[in-house]
Structure 1
Amino acid sequence: MKKEKQEKKILYNFQQAALDKIKNFDNALLAAEMGTGKTLMSIEQSERWNSPALVCLVLKSTVQQWLDELESQTDRRVFNGYKKTKNDGIDAFIACSERKCIVIGYDAYKARCAKKLREYINANSNDVTMICDESSLISNMKSFRTKAVLKSNTAHKILLSGTPHGGRLENLLPTIQILGWPMTKEKFLQKFCDVYEWTNPARPWVTIPIIQGYKNIDELHRGLEQHGTVFLTMDEAGVELPERIEQKIKQKRTADYKKFMKNGIITIGDEEIIGDNSLTKMMRARQLCSIYNPERAAAVEELLLQAGTEPVVVFYNWIAELDILKSICERLKRPVSVVNGQGRDLSAYNTGTPGTVICVQYRAGSMGLNLQSSRICIFFSLPLSFSDFTQAKARVHRIGQNRNCIFYTIICEDSVEEDILYTLAERRDYSEQLFARTYGEIGGVAA
């Protein structure tokens, strides 16, 4: 059965004003706060440029959402980059002579399977516009994902992000290159970063720049604006969202956690948990606060009972956490929707089934997911990325939400979770270096 075409959306005045600021640029960055409608604005801007072909690079979990938006907002033939049929997919897109667009995930775009698409784009560069959703994903100049985007010659590129640098200004370097701002890495570090040159005592001829802080932020923002960036916050847009209520639920550390942090190794049941370096030790410490802490599951169960029949969004990190959540929902007879790296099933949520619990893995669903039918979020464990944490909250607290939102953060006292939450509150990522500095690095534990 043919799907009914959705009604075309009309831009708000603040969205029109934002696009007017970038109308004279070939490439642009929409650095707009989550919930301001970046997807709609980017599609409208691409239509203004009116290139025959439009390529949208997005999160794999949001492909269908983008396909639906493009179907309703444009008259283009819409293709799914993951399909391989006669009438859909990369080959069908390339063969099509009509106004067209294709939606594909970043990781698929950089892969061998999309080589034809990349070659087509470079051969027809004057006729192609590219939209890069959640452009913070192309922040590492050395990654294959970023290189694939930078090597794609297009007439226009539009980047979308609510957190374009994710708390690290040096992550803007690929964006600066795309915008056409002549700025080398060395000049960027000199002008906008406080850099300490670390010298390896064993190799004194080798120095490594370590960024300790940032400077001249206003000048950086002005430079970005002069090269096609529009910054947009909810306050600037005149959009008043409902109140956001943040509640911390504290739990005690377990004896196992204390023993592990002291020795770097512990046995729970038949499982041996080892932290033989700062990275694995940090991961295991976080898991001891959530997966291996019975109070964590009990707290989530209590919160779900309090929510009654309301839909509740629960963010998690590891599959073992999802297994715990599913077990709780089965015990409470709650329907479950899941968004993670293995797939996306929102059928229970979309049909409005009472009491649905939406389990969302940070990396797969903290960006580009609309869940404003919910107003309650539980963070089963914390992410290390400030961007992921902020984006997760914006899944429910966004345009279209008309009720106060409640965010429950469950943390163990005197643990790595408290340090992570403190660091995220400072709009910074929590890194392996921070952990090692605080807790020390365990070495030589594993046999």
Structure 2
Amino acid sequence: MAKIKLFPHQLKALEMTRGMNKAAYYLDMGLGKTFVATEKAEELETNIILVVCQKSKLEDWEDHFNEFYPKYKTIIYKKQLQEIQPNTVIIINYDLIWRRDEFKKLKGFTLILDESSYIKNESSNRTKFILKMKAKNIILLSGTPTGGKYEELFSQIKLLGWKITKEAYWDKYIKFFLMNLGGFKKKKVTGYKNIDDLKQMLRQYGAVFMKTEEVIELPEVIPYEIKIKNIPQYKKFKKDRLIEIEENELVGDTSLTRLLYLRQLAAMYNKNKYEKVTELLESTEDRMIIFYNFKYECQKLQEICKKLKKPISIVNGGQRDLKNYEQHDNTITLIQYQAGAMGLNLQKANKIIYFSLTLSSELFEQSKKRTHRMGQQRSCFYYYLITEKSIEEDIFETLKQRKDYTDKLFEGEI
């Protein structure tokens, strides 16, 4: 078996959880949580390791075990659970596991939850299923366990074994008031309290917190906010909530549809953005990462890359092809936020273009760490294309405060 040489901060994280059978490694993106988790699983010595991760990370985990821990028989779960041999690793995605009752019967295994923030919604099927599983050992991994929202940590607290009620947790750590929404009450979070005490309690239950700047020196980050001229149709839609553009009729009759179409008019339908992207791509032969939201954007960006004769790699819900990224210095890699903002190691590149913005603070922060991570030797450049006098200006300011823009839906600000 290949001998793994860990970094000092990884050894420290393992030492801090020595003797515990439940641990949460809340290490910043790029600090090597995968190796910490695997070494911890080795220490716990169970015959079965079950890794639950995003669909886009299945092959990454398989490659990791095959290369560095070949003593395990590593399988990506397909349609049914195979006969389990000693030293077996089973890898499955979050969207599939709760649909397979056979995992309810599995016992005595080590459970690794990659990006454990995926179980922040206590009422979701995946969270309820995972909380009922019969794992002997639990390892949680996340660079952003709450996305800055401590109210979303409760499911992970339960997995770590902290027996505090939800009511007591909210009373002690969350500042909130009750909003009346159409006849029912909704908790509106206004802030947090006793956070040092919360983190100390979490440490007692196996949580390790590490920020990149605390353990390793990375190259500088250089952001550029590039103002993009708006299009006339944006102003018209904002006023009338109705417009026809490119043979599509956009009707913003609810807050959600209005938000969606304002975003699309600021980015997806904005020809000025595509012109700026073309200009940026023409100016370099370096690898470039472009984050986008909508399928239409991906299609138009591919057309630009083909005209410029640039090799393309794509990561979205339908495909994950990084072959050109790995092989060509001048590759343009198009990444849809939901599919690729988390988990990818893209430090061969040091430039990211944000064609359109996500509404999620967690995905926004994670996306920046695809290049600014351990192993990066060059300064990292982020190019934010922000359409003037549009909703993108508000979204960008909100994301810079590490808040989700969707919160404004409940504040009546959209």
Query: Shared fold (TM-score greater than 0.5)?
Result: yes
Cα distance in 1 for residues equivalent to 2:7 and 2:49: 23
Structure 1 residues 435 and 143 mapped into 2: Cα distance closer, same or farther (>3 Å)? Answer: closer
Q: Match of 1:376?
A: 351
Equivalent in 160, 166, 182 of residue 185 of structure 1: 166
Q: Match of 2:67?
A: 72
Which amino acid counterpart does residue 383 of structure 2 have in structure 1? Y
2:386 corresponds to 1:405 = no
2:196 corresponds to 1:218 = yes
Q: Contact 1:194/1:213 (CA < 8 Å) preserved in 2?
A: yes
Q: Match of 2:337?
A: 362
Q: Match of 1:431?
A: 406
5+ residue gaps, structure 2: none
How many residues align? The count is 413
Which amino acid counterpart does residue 144 of structure 1 have in structure 2? N
Cα deviation, residue 318, structure 1: 0.7
Equivalent in 89, 105, 122 of residue 93 of structure 2: 105
Cα deviation, residue 422, structure 1: 0.8
Local SS of the residue matching 1:91: coil
5+ residue gaps, structure 1: 85-89, 440-447
Q: Match of 2:144?
A: 163
2:284 corresponds to 1:340 = no
CA-to-aligned-CA distance 1:107-134 (integer Å, 9 cap, x gap):
11112xx322x1341xxx22x0010000
Alignment of structure 1 residues 128-207 onto 2, 5 Å: 128-199=109-180, 203=183, 207=185
Moved more, 427-436 or 208-217: 427-436
Q: Contact 1:244/1:406 (CA < 8 Å) preserved in 2?
A: yes
Cα deviation, residue 432, structure 1: 5.5
2:37 corresponds to 1:42 = yes
Cα distance in 2 for residues equivalent to 1:300 and 1:418: 18
Q: Match of 1:24?
A: 19
Q: Contact 1:9/1:73 (CA < 8 Å) preserved in 2?
A: yes
Equivalent in 78, 84, 91 of residue 96 of structure 1: 84
Cα deviation, residue 41, structure 1: 0.6
Cα deviation, residue 234, structure 1: 1.4
2:54 corresponds to 1:59 = yes
Cα distance in 2 for residues equivalent to 1:48 and 1:73: 15
Cα distance in 1 for residues equivalent to 2:208 and 2:396: 30
Cα distance in 1 for residues equivalent to 2:368 and 2:185: 40
Cα deviation, residue 436, structure 1: 6.3
Moved more, 363-372 or 180-189: 180-189
Q: Structure 2 length normalisation: TM-score? A: 0.96
Q: Contact 2:17/2:23 (CA < 8 Å) preserved in 1?
A: yes
Q: Contact 2:230/2:272 (CA < 8 Å) preserved in 1?
A: no
Cα distance in 2 for residues equivalent to 1:299 and 1:9: 45
Structure 1 residues 208 and 438 mapped into 2: Cα distance closer, same or farther (>3 Å)? Answer: closer
Cα distance in 1 for residues equivalent to 2:284 and 2:105: 51
2:202 corresponds to 1:227 = no
Local SS of the residue matching 2:81: helix
Q: Match of 2:248?
A: 271
Q: Which runs of 4+ in 1 moved over 6 A?
A: none
CA-to-aligned-CA distance 1:140-164 (integer Å, 9 cap, x gap):
0000111121111111111100000
Cα deviation, residue 8, structure 1: 4.5
Which amino acid counterpart does residue 225 of structure 1 have in structure 2? R
% identical aligned pairs: 38
Local SS of the residue matching 2:222: strand
Cα distance in 2 for residues equivalent to 1:281 and 1:71: 48
Which amino acid counterpart does residue 119 of structure 1 have in structure 2? K
Q: Contact 1:338/1:360 (CA < 8 Å) preserved in 2?
A: yes
Local SS of the residue matching 2:243: strand
Q: Match of 1:445?
A: none
Q: Match of 1:443?
A: none
